[in-house]
Amino acid sequence: MGAEFVQFSLTPILIGILASVACALPGNFLILRRQALIGDAISHVVLPGIVVAFLLSGVVAAMPMLLGAAASAIVAVVLIELVKRVGQVEPGAAMGVVFTTLFAAGVLLLEQSDTSSVHLDVEHALMGNLESLIWLRAGGWGSLFDPVALATLPPELGRMALACAVMIALTLVFWRWLKIATFDEGFAEALGIPAAPLGFGLVIASALAAVAAFEAVGSIIVIAMFICPPAAARLMTSNLERQVLWSVVFATLSAVAGYVMAGYGPLWLGGSDSVSAAGMIAAVSGVILGLACLFGPHRQRVGAARSGGVG
């Protein structure tokens, strides 16, 4: 736990935790609203957004890409609503039509444009490169108080911290509204809460969290973190406050354990190279969900038979 750890592992772990928490927070509400797959849809449509942003701006820079990805996420959400309403298609299929089409368009654009010279490829988008977000200038724990070294922190860390802080703030500010509207939309409207805009806002906020996390850690973590920690938390408690806290704990645990196992696990097993940290974080979150499915105190539906009948 010396200088090497600070150099090579501290920032990826921090970014992993921030990305996981930023996605898990809105995930709690998406799961309760049966919109869990919106994270999956968004993480696919981010690709065309990034490609278009690159084609328009001509540079691989964070800001245009974030804007492009956010714009494409909003376009996708609007298109899904449009197909649902105009075509009277059920939500899941509408989502499937829109996100696969946009993803296909993104891949086509990528192949057509001359992006071979820059680091922009589908695999990178899917898998992220958490391992490369290192802090080379750090000399040890003391660097945390050294302004010169701090200036060389990977910029993803600052952006991810900002995104995570925004998600926490939004969750706290809209807590009461979200809670009421999620469980009883009619009651919420009777109270004067704008339930429909709130639902749309939740999806947009999720999109922003997904886009910020996507840039840093790839889409696998985004998809897994939107669903696995909140789903596991849902099986631990029937209280929304506690569920959100559990989900944050699970998300953090997944990020730390996943990163450590990816980086050091192969060494312990006698291997020589590390494996994908993003994949491992998703896998760990799956293990946590699996354990919650088997042993979570609130895993069954209220009123379901012990023998596991479908309620």
Partner 1 sequence: MTPLLDALFLQAGHNAALVAIGAGLLGYASGATGTFLFLRKRALLSDAAAHATLPGVALAFIVMVALGGDGRNLAGLLLGSAITAAIGLVTVQWIVAHTRLTEDAAIGAVLGVFFGVGVVLLTVIQTMSSGRQAGLEDFLLGSTAGMLRQDALVIAAGGALALALTWALRRPMTLVSFDADFATAAGYRVSRIDLMMMLAALVVTVIGLKVVGLVLIVALLIIPPVAARFWTESVGRMIWIAGAIGGISGYAGAAVSASAPNLPTGPIIVLMAAGVFVASLLFAPVRGVAAAFIRQRRFKARVHHRQGLLAIARQEPIRETFTLRLLQRENLIRADGVPTEAGRAAAAKVSRDERRWDIARRIHQDAGLTGRYDGLTPIEDVFTADEIQEFDRRIGPPVAVEG
Residue closer to partner 1, measured from CB, 108 or 165: 108
Tokens of 111: 């192949």
Least distance in angstroms from the C-beta of 190 to partner 1: 25
Name the 3-class secondary structure at 232. helix
Q: Report yes or no: 289 and 299 within 8 Å, Cβ to Cβ.
A: no
**Token pair 């491992």 in the structure block, residue:** 280
Rounded CA separation 174/235 (Å)? 24
Q: What angle do CA 110, 35, 257 make, to 5 degrees?
A: 75
Residue closer to partner 1, measured from CB, 57 or 300: 300
Tokens of 215: 């840039």
Least distance in angstroms from the C-beta of 37 to partner 1: 5
Least distance in angstroms from the C-beta of 294 to partner 1: 9
Residue closer to partner 1, measured from CB, 67 or 253: 253
DSSP codes joined into one string, 83-122: HHHHH---HHHHHHHHHHHHHHHHHHHHHHTT-TTSS--H
Least distance in angstroms from the C-beta of 14 to partner 1: 20
Residue closer to partner 1, measured from CB, 24 or 149: 24
Q: Which residues contact 23 (CB under 8 A, 6 or more apart)?
A: 39, 206, 209, 210, 213, 221, 222, 225, 226, 251
Residue 151 DSSP class: T
Rounded CA separation 146/258 (Å)? 29
Tokens of 63: 């800001």
Residue closer to partner 1, measured from CB, 116 or 186: 116
Tokens of 138: 């750090």
Residue closer to partner 1, measured from CB, 193 or 222: 222
Residue closer to partner 1, measured from CB, 81 or 146: 81
Least distance in angstroms from the C-beta of 76 to partner 1: 13
Q: Which residues contact 77 (CB under 8 A, 6 or more apart)?
A: 38, 42, 200, 203, 204, 207
Least distance in angstroms from the C-beta of 197 to partner 1: 22
Least distance in angstroms from the C-beta of 56 to partner 1: 19
